[in-house]
Amino acid sequence: MPRWGKSLLRVLASVMSPAGRRARLSILIYHRVLAHEDPLNTWDVTAGVFDAQMRVVAENFVPLPLSEAVDRLMTGELPPRAACVTFDDGYLDNVEVALPILQRHGLSATFFVATGYLDGGWMWNDKVIEALRSMPGPVLDLQTWGLPIFELGSNQARRLAIQRILPALKYLPGPEREARAEHLAAAARAPAGNGPMMSDAHVRTLRAAGMEIGAHSVTHPILTRVTAAQAKREIAESGQRLTEILREPVRLFAYPNGKPGEDYGPEHVRMARDAGYRAAVSTAWGVAAAGSDVYQLPRFTPWDRTPTRFALRLLSNIRSVTIP
């Protein structure tokens, strides 16, 4: 981004997100930071893209740890251009790839960890992706699942299949979703081994580096699709496990999938509060402002890949105040 562009970005962001009671809090959400491009995963950022985006944040915004930002939001003391960086799920590349980049730019981030997948676990969606990577061709017939026959003759075809299969499985009951992911893995004879998630030790490494750790449930269920008792356990026990790992309280929570009214409801907000969390984040797009519910803070995923478009997306998002 040219020098004049940086100055203009800071000026515009300061006008749109001033200090004090009129402040806006931008919270970015990431999942993975890939060391290299992956032909089957084009939605997560690569190290180079993430580095460029963090440079934009560091040079043009006022990055804050999420817990500090929440405190200052509640007291009306946010600085202008306030922003936070967050990660969901607990992928190992968060430690190996993202952490050095964050440190290079002097940034803190909050990592929301699904504790049931620590120490070599596999989330169902990653099983599907790796199954499609290994699946022999030329086609995959999933008509019995209400899906079409997928061509598998190229990486593009496999990627398109993944993009159809993941949404189709996401809202199935947890056991059925896992069973179908396992079925695909078995059909593909996908290599067994440790999954792409971090370990307990990696969680401690992040904390020792000055990063914040938050809870993200145990098995990442859609909370509206499980019983109240199951949801309560998922919300509370993930924080308890992380507290044991870190030997300090964990006070931040991220709702799995995170769409208000669809993936979680008011009862789950109460559960997060009752579990002792100080704040919780959703995936509703927008920014927080005075009057926002700190147990439903909005976040957004920055899809744009060039620094200029990323900066424009940040400005556009600032206009979208979300007050549940």
Digit-by-digit pLDDT tens for the chain (324 residues) are 555 455 777 778 778 888 888 889 999 999 999 999 999 999 999 999 999 999 999 999 999 999 999 999 999 999 999 999 999 999 999 999 999 999 999 999 999 999 999 998 999 999 999 999 999 989 999 999 999 999 999 999 999 999 999 999 999 999 999 999 999 999 998 766 789 999 999 999 999 999 999 999 999 999 999 999 999 999 999 999 999 999 999 999 999 999 999 999 999 999 999 999 999 999 999 999 988 999 999 999 888 888 888 988 888 888 776 555
C-beta neighbour count of 162 within 10 angstroms: 21
Residues 57 and 76 grouped into a single domain: yes
Residues 107 and 132 grouped into a single domain: no
pTM as predicted: 0.94
Q: Is residue 194 part of a domain?
A: no
The DSSP bridge partners found for residue 25 are 82, 288
Residues 314 and 239 grouped into a single domain: yes
CB < 8 Å & 24+ apart, contacts of 96-102: 96/35, 97/33, 97/34, 97/35, 97/47, 97/50, 98/30, 98/33, 98/50, 99/205, 99/206, 99/209, 99/211, 101/33, 101/47, 101/50, 101/51, 101/54, 102/54, 102/211
Amino acid residing at 290: A
Q: How many domains does the chain have?
A: 2
Residues 104 and 128 grouped into a single domain: no
Amino acid residing at 126: D
Residues 97 and 137 grouped into a single domain: no
Q: Is residue 21 part of a domain?
A: yes
Q: Is residue 86 part of a domain?
A: yes
Q: Which domain holds residue 310?
A: 3-120+199-318
Reference 290, options 258, 253, 254, 322; nearest CA is 322
Please give the biggest Cα pair distance in the chain. Answer: 60
Residues 105 and 182 grouped into a single domain: no
Residues 6 or more apart whose Cβ sits within 8 Å of residue 300: 26, 27, 28, 29, 285, 286, 317
Residues 261 and 115 grouped into a single domain: yes
Residues 249 and 144 grouped into a single domain: no
Residues 174 and 32 grouped into a single domain: no
Residues 211 and 105 grouped into a single domain: yes
User: Torsion angle, CA of 24/30/33/39, rounded to 10 degrees?
Assistant: -120
The DSSP bridge partners found for residue 151 are 139
Residues 25 and 109 grouped into a single domain: yes
Supply the pLDDT for residue 1. 56
Length of the chain: 324
Residues 180 and 262 grouped into a single domain: no
CATH of the domain at 304: 3.20.20.370
